[in-house]
Structure 1
Amino acid sequence: MDRQVKRQYDTSRRRAAAQETRRAILDTATRLFVERGYAATTMAQLAESAGVAVDTVYTVAGRKPALFLHLVEAAISGTDEAVPAAERDYVREMRAEPDAARKLRRYARAIREMHARLAPLLRVARTGPPEVARIWQDITRRRADNMRLLARDLAATGQLRHELDPDEVADVIWATNSPEFYCLLVEDRGWPPERFEQWLADTWCRLLLA
């Protein structure tokens, strides 16, 4: 085998092995946090359950707060890595869509998919220490900022109710697209996720659009 080809092969194998290790750590962290809670899960337990050394966990994920933040970001993005809001596929699709109702229906689908991943981590955050609560609060504030961008995008279509200002539109969407709201209806009241998506889209259109 040519040396260059062999080096490329070895590099690809190492990269694949590193990704497999990373996935094992993240999946194990999610499972242990959900089963045992944040405070009761130690990095040593995580390493043992994932079949890696403790140092590997710290190298891959950092300290426990950084690990939890990464899990939240990955759940929001739907990938192993955090993806900025503007670079997510559904955001690009919404911005390219000229019709306000179709923007909101696409966003309702994204929220349903996202919160299915986020809901278990919300339960962890509810019972976690202050460091976890701060992470969740930061995510909540960032979501509010993103809703102001969405409200301006909706206003640019000229299809919002004329008596609504963008800040009110942003607040309404922010309140109803929260993972807490999803959990109330889907987990506590037993709504199928697809019903939640349809209801959310219909509610936004009735409340916000002319």
Structure 2
Amino acid sequence: MNENVKVDKRRYNAPRRAAQAADTRHSILAAARALFVERGYAATTVAEIATQASVSVDTVYASIGRKPVLLRELVETALSGTDHAIPARQREYVRAIREANGAQDKIAIYAEALVAIQQRLAPIFLVLREAAATDASCARVWAEISERRAANMREFAADLRGTGQLRDDLSDDEVADIIWSMNATEYWVLLVGERQWTAARFRDWLADAWIRLLLRAPHGAR
């Protein structure tokens, strides 16, 4: 009888422990993001992250990991818009792109999603770029994410090709490279950060540019 009570108590406490662990993870990531963006990767210590998150250093290591892992998680969560990494194919906007019929609709959906992503991603991605110049672990993260982004763009190009609306004089690799270069955080920072474009203006211009650059002209257009 007493054993059953103990089992029931453990079952009762499990959701609460999971919620507490999620809250702790969120606090650590928020602290790391704020400090990395404010001070830079090299100048920020795990002890400072722990203090700002109101946890111990051991809790930071146990919940997420060392500094390179923290930075990777910040990039991944900025991409997913959640507190955990989500593979590209499982993201809602990617599914919406796959389900859309026309190339213009697919491009519009992606441009909309990209603007939302960059608003989360840009500050921490610039931290990663700077850290990659001096830290070997961060350099590996930078290279991996860059190549993964390129691979995702090749899938996007193939999806666009399936509509029959891409220009015949552009290969899928060329289409992917064009989109890869123009969806980069650096491009966003130049126009939105330095030239003070609004997010909506960037979104509309990017979709229009890709439509003009990549798709066949409508019949009868010159």
Partner in structure 2 of residue 186 of structure 1: 192
Partner in structure 2 of residue 173 of structure 1: 179
On the 8 A contact 1:111/1:177 being kept in 2, the answer is: yes
- The residue identity in structure 1 corresponding to 2:32 is A
Aligned equivalents of 2:12, 2:115: Cα separation in 1 = 40
Q: Which of 20, 32, 36 is equivalent to 2:23? A: 20
Partner in structure 1 of residue 121 of structure 2: 118
On the 8 A contact 2:71/2:128 being kept in 1, the answer is: no
Q: Which of 30, 33, 39 is equivalent to 2:33? A: 30
On the 8 A contact 1:38/1:124 being kept in 2, the answer is: yes
Question: CA-to-partner distance for each residue in 1:87-125, whole Å, 9 max, x for gaps?
Answer: 111111101111110000000011101111111112312
Consecutive unaligned residues of structure 1, counting only runs of 5 or more, are: none
CA RMSD of aligned residues (A): 1.4
**Aligned residues between the structures:** 209
**How far has the Cα of 1:157 moved from its partner?**
0.6
Q: Which of 105, 116, 137 is equivalent to 2:108? A: 105
**How far has the Cα of 1:179 moved from its partner?**
0.8
Larger Rg: 2
1:54-133 matched pairs, under 5 angstroms: 54-128=57-131, 129-131=134-136, 132-133=138-139
Aligned equivalents of 1:169, 1:44: Cα separation in 2 = 45
Aligned equivalents of 2:121, 2:139: Cα separation in 1 = 15
On the 8 A contact 1:122/1:180 being kept in 2, the answer is: no
Helix, strand or coil at the partner of 2:117: helix
**How far has the Cα of 1:194 moved from its partner?**
1.1
After superposing on structure 2, the runs of 4+ consecutive aligned residues of structure 1 that deviate more than 3 Å are 2-9
Percent identity, aligned pairs only, is: 52
Helix, strand or coil at the partner of 1:174: helix
Tell me the TM-score normalised to structure 1 length: 0.95
Aligned equivalents of 1:180, 1:12: Cα separation in 2 = 41
Q: Which of 128, 135, 140 is equivalent to 1:134? A: 140
- The residue identity in structure 2 corresponding to 1:181 is Y
Q: Which of 156, 159, 174 is equivalent to 1:150? A: 156
On the 8 A contact 1:90/1:106 being kept in 2, the answer is: yes
**How far has the Cα of 1:6 moved from its partner?**
4.5
Structure having greater relative contact order (Cα 8 Å, sep ≥ 6): 1
- The residue identity in structure 2 corresponding to 1:9 is Y
